[in-house]
Each structure stands twice: as structure tokens, then as C-alpha cells.
Amino acid sequence: MTRLLAVDALWFGLIVCAIGGIIAPIGIGRGKQRDAWIAVAQGAVYANFALITVAAGAMMWALARHDFSISYVAQVGSRATPMFYTVISLWGALEGSILFWAWVLALYSVGVVWLNRKRPGLLVPYASAALLAIALFFHVLLVGPANPFHLVSPVPLDGPGPNPLLQNHILMAVHPPLLYLGYVGMSVPFAFAVGAVLSGEITNADWMRLTRRWTLTAWAFLSAAIIAGMWWSYEVLGWGGYWAWDPVENASFIPWLTATAYLHSVMVQERRDMLRLWNLNLVVGTFMLTILGTFLTRSGIISSVHAFTQGTIGYYFLAFIAIVLVGALAMVAGNSDKLRAPGKLDAALSRETVFLLNNLLLTVFMFTVLIGTLFPLVAEAVRGVKVSVGEPFYNRMTLPVMVALLFLMGVGPALPWKRGNMDDLKRKMLPGLIVAAMVATIVVVVGAKSVYAVLAFSFVGFAATMNVMEFVIGARARVSAHGERFGTALLRLIAGNRRRYGGYIAHMGIFVAATGIAASSTFRSEGEATLKPGQSMVVGKTTARLKDVWGREEKQRSVIGATVELVRDGAVYASLTPRMNFYPTSQQPIPTPDVRSTPFGDTYMNLMSFQQDGSSATIKVILEPLVPWIWMGGGIIVLGALVSAWPVRKLA
């Protein structure tokens, strides 16, 4: 019953998307009964949302009720798995994740249509049609190769449960939805681009303003998703790291880079009427890169830790990429004449120059990561050899770019639009440079050896000072002009120019996260020892004493754990319990590290192995300074985006 309802909803959704995404735009274009066709396109958006909600709801219902007659439930469900992880396994495997994707896309589409319901013109109707055309592709997947609602017969009594790694941590409920909200959200700017071209509004600046806010929203989700993914990997995988340049991580990061570039270059277009064509390229490129990333992680074309089960779905994605890529390139190139921007660069020393450099660096960054990700494929195609591209490549290639970007983040806010003055700039940069020199000295004294580490720390110090100064100078001006108290002045300053100061807040988040990354990779120390209960090991200034090794049976797994006490001056000040979880479906135990976090850093502990009689355990202890700053930075970035995107109420 549930199954039939869901399958019908998917098929109806397919028809609705075909009508709204293909027939309606043709009708709108021909002009006859245009209003009726507009109504069809927009109605289809609502109808599709209702239908896909029914399908996704049916899946969650089936998961919750352990309805193993449905193929997806039989694949990821299990009676022993806690209800929470059972329901969120909606996005735990391939078919469910496509269903969830389609639902998020439908949600965004409703948002676009509803929030712009009073906007005249054809931009939004065409954009709705474009979103429905994208949704059509996902519906084709859902009734075809990724159909999660196949009938299983005979009905199994129980299922294997989700992949153990995906039911081992609460962040599984957070990271994937954020990622989808970010990834799928990039479809909206693309749809606006298509709408702008089809409606002829491409030459008018308004579509960019509309697009910016949607991009910012998706960007905030994507930023949060990337950081949450790092956190998840850190808490779950047991290696004490948070980023490994795995293809799946790169897939999320590559579009983030182009979206970041766009958020900066769009200001140049708004202020100075330059870069129209470039911005269109960034919008279209970001969307293409999300689709490419999805293809790479779901087709099995590139070897990754994060492989989804494979099937024929890769070919469908390939066809979709081909259609969108050819269509988008034709659209952009064919209309490039209309996009000649009248604006000109006035002076080399100006804020727009910094934005241009920022875009150049972000683009180089994007291509570096993209090439690194695709290189194994290229190498095999051209030379027939198997290669893998690992951390050394990425670190060597991207560290200079990152460091340069940090520097620019300090210079940009200090420069005015149009034409800057070298003397002014020198004067403004002085405090930043002093802080940078101080930070560099401290870092070298503390023991940093790599040049990039020193540069990273000191440029963070420089740029952070420069951004803080923007707040201080602005607030001080209000204090003297309006006689406000400093705190009030600061809040009013931000409220009065949310876009600008939201941007600076996001910058601060980057600095906080960058400090965490630089510190934890530069000053990390670790040790591993096999201990008998009562024995201790020393790593850095931390003494860890094994108390005991224990075992526990839980409903869906067996747990072996070690209780390890952290000791200072003979007194126990903390106790950690790294564990190994044994799931019946997994050959290998799932490591479950335990982390003690303080604002200054983490004590990360992993149970490497143990004697079955509990007589000893091998414990790995990693001391990672400032790691929590990365997660905190992520929060600040999102806060900045929120401030920046928050609509300003028009005063009557």
C-alpha cells in the first residue's frame, strides 16, 4: 500500500516535471496564452513538491515500520538499529539519497516560486521550468535505476541495517542534509541564469541581486556541511584527521570554491558593472561542478573511501552531464555578446583589483583540486598507468594559494572602490603587519618549522586584525557621531550594512578555522602504547593510564572499550573510553575514538587493539591543539552568511 502510493507519486511527479519543465517553457516562449503557461509551470512546482513529499514520507514511514517488502528498507533497515538511525537512513544509501535529493530540490523550487510570486516578468517562470527540468532527471532516476520502492519477495524477516559507519555518530543526522541543502541549492542560481537568458533579463542587473541571495544561502549550507563532514570524519574514522583530499571531499569543496568566487565577484558587477560574463560562468560552473561531483562519487569512476553502491546510474548521470554541459556552454557562449560589461577598471590599486585577484586564486585553487581529482582518470586514458593523487600533491599545490588568499582577505577591506591611495593603505595596514610580525615570532619560538605554517599563522593574524579594524573604525565613527555606547554602535553598524559586515564576520570564521587547521597540523603530537591495566603512557605533557578493558553487548552491536584516565600530579582529571564497535554485518570493528575537547585543543584517543582476556590494550593518543576552533569557525562562517543574507526590511 505504502509502496504503491509512493511509486504512483513518483510517476505522477515525473509527468508533472515533464509538463512544467519542458512543455510549459515552450508555451511561454511562443507567447500564446502565456499567463496560462506561467501558471502551469508554477503550479507544477507546487504539485511536484507535494508528490515527492508523499514519496519521501512513505519511505520514512516504511523505514520506521520495518517494511522489508520494500527493497530500500530491506537493504538498509534492521530491527535492531535504533529508530533514529533507521529513519535517517533515508539518506544512508544510493537510492534513498536520490529521493532525498529530489525532495530538497522540490523544496528549493517551492521557495523560489513562493518568495517571488509577486515579481513580474518571465525570469521566475523560466527559472521554475529549469528547476523542474532538473527535477525531471531525478524522477527518471527514481522510477528507473535508483528506484527504492522495488517489491521484495519473499519478504525478509530482518535486514542488515545501515552501513555501520553511518549509524555510529549523531553527525550522520546533520552532515548529509546540510550537504544536500548546499549542493542542491546551487541549482537555484543556475535556474535563474537559464531564466535570465530565456527571458532576456540577462542584460538587466536585477537577476544577479536575486541570484546572489540564493547562492549565499546554498553557500552557507555547503560551508556548514563541509565543516560538519570534517567533524564527522574526525569523530568517527579514528585516524585523528579531518581532511584527506579524498575525491568525495573534493567533490564538495570544488563547487564551494567557485561559489565563494562568485559571492565576491558579484559585488564587482553590482558596484562597477564589470564581470557580467564571468559571473554567469561562475553560476553555471558551480552547478556543473555539483553535478560532476555527484557523478564522480556515485558512478564508481574514481576510487574513493566514500563509494556508493554502483549500478547503471553512472550512465544516466553521464547523459545528464552531457546535456547540461553542452546546453550551458551554448547558452553562455551564444549570449556572450550581450554580456559585454561596460565597466572598466579605474586603477590598479582598488578593491576591485583585490576581488579580481581573489577570483583568479580561487579559480586556480578550483582547477588544482579538480585536476588532482580527475588526474587518475586522465593518466590512465593517456598513458595507461594507474596513479593515485594524494595529500602531498594537494598540500604542495594549494598551500601557497591558501596563504595568498588569507593575505588578500586582509588587504581587500582596507582598500576603497575605484581608486586607492598607497599612503592610506600603508597607514591602514600597519597594525595588521605589526600583529603579523608578532604572531610569526611567537610561532617560530613555539617551534613551527614549515615556512607555510609560519606564513599561514602570521597572515591570519594580519587579516584578522584588518577585519577587526573595520568593525572598530566603523563603530568608533558612530560613537563620536551619535554618542552611542561602543557595543550599541557596533550592533547598529552591522545592522546598517549587513552585507558588508556579514562578509567580514564570515571572514573571521575563516580565520578561526584556519588557525585551528594550521595549529592542529603543525603542533600535533601522538603516541601509541600497549598497556596493562594500571600502566601509563606519556604523550607531550599528557599522562594516560589504562584503568580497564571491558565488553558490553548492545542490541545492534557488541562493544569493546577501554577506560583510560588522564592523570596530572597523581590526580585523575578526565576519563576517556575509546571503543571498538562490532556490527554483525561488518567484518572489521568500527573504531569509535573518544575525544576530550577544550578550547585549547583535543586529547584524541583510539583503541587500536586489545587482548581478549582484558589483560592489555593498545591505545593511541593524539594531542591536537585548537581543533575545536575549526568547528567554531564553521559556526561563525554560517553566522556571517546569515547576517549577510538576511533581508533588509524596506522602510515605508
Partner 1 sequence: MNWRRAALASAAAAPVIALLAWGMTRDPKEIVSPLPGRNAPEFSLGVFAPGEPPLARKVGDTIALASMRGKIVVFNFWASWCLECRVEHKDLSFVAQQNASKSVQFVGVLYNDVPSAGLEWIGKMGGQAYPSVLDQGARTAIDYGLYGVPETFVIDASGRVAYKHTGPIPAALLQSKIDSLLAAPAVQSPASR
Q: Closest Cα to residue 433, out of 402, 395, 459?
A: 459
Q: Which residues contact 413 (CB under 8 A, 6 or more apart)?
A: 466, 467, 470, 504, 507
Q: Among the candidate windows 146-154, 325-333, 471-479, 488-496, which touches partner 1 by CB under 8 A?
A: 325-333
Among residues 302, 411, 590, 637, the one that binds partner 1 under rule CB under 8 A: 302
- Give min distance, CB of 389 to partner 1, in A: 12
Among residues 173, 318, 434, 437, the one that binds partner 1 under rule CB under 8 A: 318
- Give min distance, CB of 288 to partner 1, in A: 10
**Quick one: 480 or 587, whose CB is closer to partner 1?**
587
- Give min distance, CB of 369 to partner 1, in A: 16
- Give min distance, CB of 558 to partner 1, in A: 16
Q: Closest Cα to residue 213, out of 270, 163, 253?
A: 270
Q: Which residues contact 194 (CB under 8 A, 6 or more apart)?
A: 126, 127, 130, 331
Containing H/E element for 590? strand 590-592
- Give, as ranges, the residues between 241 and 300 that touch partner 1 (CB under 8 A): 295, 299-300
Q: How far apart are CA 7 and CA 1, in angstroms?
A: 10
3-state secondary structure of 575: strand
Containing H/E element for 550? strand 542-553
Q: Closest Cα to residue 190, out of 127, 101, 120, 262?
A: 127
- Give min distance, CB of 294 to partner 1, in A: 12
**Quick one: 143 or 321, whose CB is closer to partner 1?**
321
Among residues 335, 535, 536, 543, the one that binds partner 1 under rule CB under 8 A: 335
Q: Among the candidate windows 97-105, 312-320, 454-462, 484-492, which touches partner 1 by CB under 8 A?
A: 312-320
Give the count of residues interacting with partner 1 (CB under 8 A): 31
Q: How far apart are CA 513 and CA 635, in angstroms?
A: 10
Q: Is 322 in the site for partner 1 (CB under 8 A)?
A: yes
Among residues 337, 423, 569, 613, the one that binds partner 1 under rule CB under 8 A: 337
Angle at 296 between CA 295 and CA 297, to 5 degrees: 95
Among residues 151, 173, 205, 330, the one that binds partner 1 under rule CB under 8 A: 330
Q: Among the candidate windows 33-41, 378-386, 525-533, 628-636, which touches partner 1 by CB under 8 A?
A: 378-386
Q: Among the candidate windows 93-101, 152-160, 310-318, 397-405, which touches partner 1 by CB under 8 A?
A: 310-318
Among residues 115, 140, 244, 331, the one that binds partner 1 under rule CB under 8 A: 331
> To the nearest 10°, the Cα dihedral for 239, 639, 207, 272?
-100
Burial class (CB in 10 A: 0-12, 13-18, 19+), 307: middle
- Give min distance, CB of 334 to partner 1, in A: 3
Among residues 33, 203, 309, 336, the one that binds partner 1 under rule CB under 8 A: 336
- Give min distance, CB of 321 to partner 1, in A: 7
Q: Among the candidate windows 10-18, 332-340, 480-488, 614-622, which touches partner 1 by CB under 8 A?
A: 332-340
The full 3-state SS of 268-316, as one line of letters, equals HHHHHCCCHHHHHHHHHHHHHHHHHHHHHHHHCCCCCCCCCCCCCHHHH
Measuring CA to CA, how many Å separate 368 from each of 37, 178, 220, 286, 362? Answer: 44, 25, 23, 15, 10
Q: How far apart are CA 88 and CA 168, in angstroms?
A: 12
Q: Among the candidate windows 12-20, 99-107, 330-338, 559-567, which touches partner 1 by CB under 8 A?
A: 330-338
- Give min distance, CB of 361 to partner 1, in A: 23
Q: How far apart are CA 158 and CA 568, in angstroms?
A: 49
Containing H/E element for 562? strand 558-568
Q: Among the candidate windows 262-270, 315-323, 541-549, 603-611, which touches partner 1 by CB under 8 A?
A: 315-323
**Quick one: 331 or 425, whose CB is closer to partner 1?**
331
**Quick one: 315 or 486, whose CB is closer to partner 1?**
315
Measuring CA to CA, how many Å separate 223 from each of 39, 170, 364, 645? Answer: 35, 19, 19, 14
Q: Is 301 in the site for partner 1 (CB under 8 A)?
A: yes
Q: Is 321 in the site for partner 1 (CB under 8 A)?
A: yes
Q: Among the candidate windows 54-62, 317-325, 543-551, 598-606, which touches partner 1 by CB under 8 A?
A: 317-325
Binding-site string for partner 1 from residue 382 to residue 421, where x marks contact by CB under 8 A and - marks none: ----x-----------------------------------
Q: How far apart are CA 478 and CA 490, in angstroms?
A: 8
- Give, as ranges, the residues between 563 and 622 that touch partner 1 (CB under 8 A): 587
- Give, as ranges, the residues between 70 and 99 that touch partner 1 (CB under 8 A): none
Q: How far apart are CA 116 and CA 218, in angstroms?
A: 17
**Burial call 46-73: b when 16+ CB within 10 Å, e when fewer:** bbbbebbbbbbbbbbebbeebbbbbbbb
Residues that bind partner 1 (CB under 8 A): 295, 299-303, 314-315, 318, 321-322, 325-327, 329-337, 374, 376-378, 380-381, 386, 587
